[in-house]
Chains A and B, each alone.
Chain A
Amino acid sequence: MINQFLFLLYIAILGVSFMFFFKNSLSSANLYLLSVPTGLSIWVFQLIILFILGLPFEKLFIGILSLLLLSVFIAIHRNKFFVKKNLVQIIIYLALYSGFSFLFLIFNYSFFTNDSWRMLIGGKYIATYGSLLDSLIDQRGLYAYIIHSSSNIFGFDYLYALYPLMMLFFALFFAYNLYSPLSPENKEVGRNILFSSLVVLFILSTFFVLLNAFYVHSNLLSGIYGFLALFGLWKHLVSKDRNWLIISAIAILSFSFLRIEGPLLSLIIIIILISIKQIKFKEKVYYVGAVSLFVVVWHIRLFFMLAGHTSKYYMNPARTLLITVLYTLIFTVLLVSQKGILNRIKEYFPLLMVYSLSIGWTILIFTEGPKTKGNLLVLKKYGRLILNSVKHGDWGITWIVLGILFAVALILKKLRHESLFLYYIFSFALLFNSIHLYRGGWRIGWGDSGNRMLMSIIFVISFYVFLKFRNVLFPNSLEK
């Protein structure tokens, strides 16, 4: 337990030391609340780099590298770190963080399914042998295995306290960013806080969301990083703070590596980013370039790993090549879209994306997807998606409420840069439908992967919906 606590503490300190790059622009609350997801991502990506490049994946080497990384960040920020005010904040934050960590370490309600075992096995295998287990190469994103390699590297059973910790900090982050600063004359602070707290409570009262806080899987992390990727982009446009773009880039990288379909879903955000005129070309190049580089290099490596491999579960050499080509293409389009016809039509890229996805979905509907195991009844399974979101998927009343509120929110007063949310939500819905039609549809029950994938979008839809209602209910809000 102590080893796991020390690992979690390391992640928090790494996160804080990294987030201090943004100390001058981000609020203290956002800085500390984002330290866990960013710290985790930075640690994971240093290991992903080791893994992709085939460098020694050994405990001692990783331990030294981890400490070195932390030392470098602290050294860079030593002037800010050891200022009295910042030091007090850090100590308070770490004290609270440690308290919650111990709580979740002692009260272990972690929950397993067969997928969880595969992640643990994959993680332990990587940590033991420095490679991926043959039977697991094509099943899920590398991120999930790397997280669980921490158990063997740092010497504990399995990483279970991370999930409730991530949920807690994310819930606070969500509530904080839904809270709106009011004009100085307005004294409705209490009501404002009550509103955002109840919204978070509503989301957490959803059984399936709460379950994912203890479920050893990638659903929760997908939801969090997917949200942060889009939120970072939106916040950058609203606040004109470039640092949010960096946070979005880290989040989208994590999102791409968490699930097999992650790179496809991340493309939605990338295409939206390319279309935005307010973001400088150089910033787009760094953002898209960094994401594309990681994704392409990993998928090329995966291509060679899968080449001699017999089990073709989700990924196969053709699909890795497809992802590689897509990301190379999107980066090329970005580079040439500075001039000419592409420059004139790039603001319509998201609309074209929605069109392509709609047409793709239509084709799949009329061909009933590929006939999976002779199953000609793929379209009939759509009813299961509805039934899962309403009853069997353990979502309670949440999707019904969000559906109604979403329809109402569409006609409420416009948000700044609202189109970001709408393009993402509709594109996600179309891609999600297409993926499942392609795979053969849904099955009843919470464990259905389509049902679990809804975790990737719930935070985005909730934030969008309640943000719009917030602006109606708090007309004196300084942020609209």
Chain B
Amino acid sequence: MNEKRLKLLLILPLLTINLFNIVFILYKARGTGYFREAVRTIVDYFMGFHLIPLFIACLVLLYFHLSKKTSLSSFLYKIFLVLLLFFIAINISLFPEIMELRGGQEKFTFNKKNSSLKEAILKSPAKDARDARQYIQMNEYLRNKILTIPHSSPVEKDYYFKSLIKPNRLAKREYSYGMTGKDFEALKNYKLKSFNAFRRVKEIKKYIIVDASPGCNSLTLFTYDNNYIFIPSDLLQQHPLNVHD
């Protein structure tokens, strides 16, 4: 048996196993809406008026190729460049949307400069208990230039700690970053454990970040007006609050 045939014989079962795995995963992951959303996104990228200039450019290049009888590789090269430019344009056009969706959380923009580590720390909020501990450590390090073990660190009085709990309700879907509109309205159905959060939340402009997984019965709400950070109640229990109002 020659080498090529042997390699083909070895590769075919491999392809079969992996194709089967992919089909099985698609089957198991059906109904989640993720694939539908992915396909819709891909269609959105290519459709609309974006395709028309591309189509025209390709037609023009084809005309010149046929009329001037240029080589095939030269024609393909020009088509390739046009396509690359088109893809670059789409990628860049997505920048404002991506940066806008970030909202207050982990904001990365080119008009926000950091001048020092302290400034970077103060601008970047802690998301959960682990974060808050690391955060506190960094602040303590900056203050005292030493690093302390997190569990015994006092809570910085600049931060408020709350959590939302609705004991008998289960989160029906995953809440992920950048939730707005009607999803935000749905949050109102969740009962507050302590009072301050929701009243202040209404003052927050646009983006609220909620962390929850389907099947859990608590939501942790984070908001980024630099005064409120919400973290799970385990840290709440470990450290006394120092609420301003």
Contact = CB atoms under 8 A, between A and B. Distances in A.
Interface residues of B, number: 68
A398 B91 contact: yes
A382 B150 contact: no
Nearest to B37: A387
A198 interface: yes
A391 B38 contact: yes
Interface in B54-108: 73, 76-77, 80-81, 84-85, 87-88, 90-92, 94-95, 98, 106, 108
B49 interface: no
Contacts of B41: 387, 390-391
Given A117-B135, A211-B108, A384-B34, A206 B114 contact: no
A418 B37 CA distance: 35
A133 B176 contact: no
Contacts of B37: 387, 391
B1 interface: no
B147 interface: yes
Contact of A158 (B21, B42, B117): B117
Interface string A444-476: 110100000000000000000000010011110
A205 B92 contact: yes
Contact of B84 (A133, A202, A355): A202
Interface stretch (B122-130, B219-227, B235-243): B122-130
Nearest to B115: A108
B174 interface: yes
A462 to B, nearest CB: 12
B81 A362 contact: no
Size bin of chain A's contact surface: 35 or more
Interface string A210-236: 010011000000000000000000000
Nearest to A368: B28
The main secondary structure of chain A at its interface with chain B is helix
B146 A128 contact: yes
Contact of A117 (B34, B38, B106, B138): B138
B18 interface: yes
A349 interface: no
Interface in B131-151: 131, 133-135, 137-138, 141, 146-147, 149-150
A239 interface: no
B45 interface: yes
Contacts of B42: 390, 400
A187 B51 CA distance: 33
Contact of B120 (A110, A198, A380, A400): A110
Interface of A: 107-114, 117-118, 120-121, 124-125, 128-129, 133-135, 157-158, 160, 191, 194-195, 198-199, 201-202, 205-207, 211, 214-215, 348, 351, 354-355, 358-359, 361-362, 365, 374-375, 377, 379-384, 386-387, 390-392, 394, 396-398, 400-401, 430, 443-445, 447, 469, 472-475
Q: Which 9 A-B pairs have the closest CB atoms?
A: A383-B34, A396-B91, A205-B91, A379-B28, A157-B117, A114-B131, A444-B176, A117-B134, A473-B77
17 contacts: A114-B127, A114-B131, A114-B135, A117-B121, A121-B137, A195-B77, A195-B81, A361-B21, A377-B214, A380-B29, A387-B37, A390-B38, A397-B87, A397-B94, A398-B91, A401-B87, A444-B176
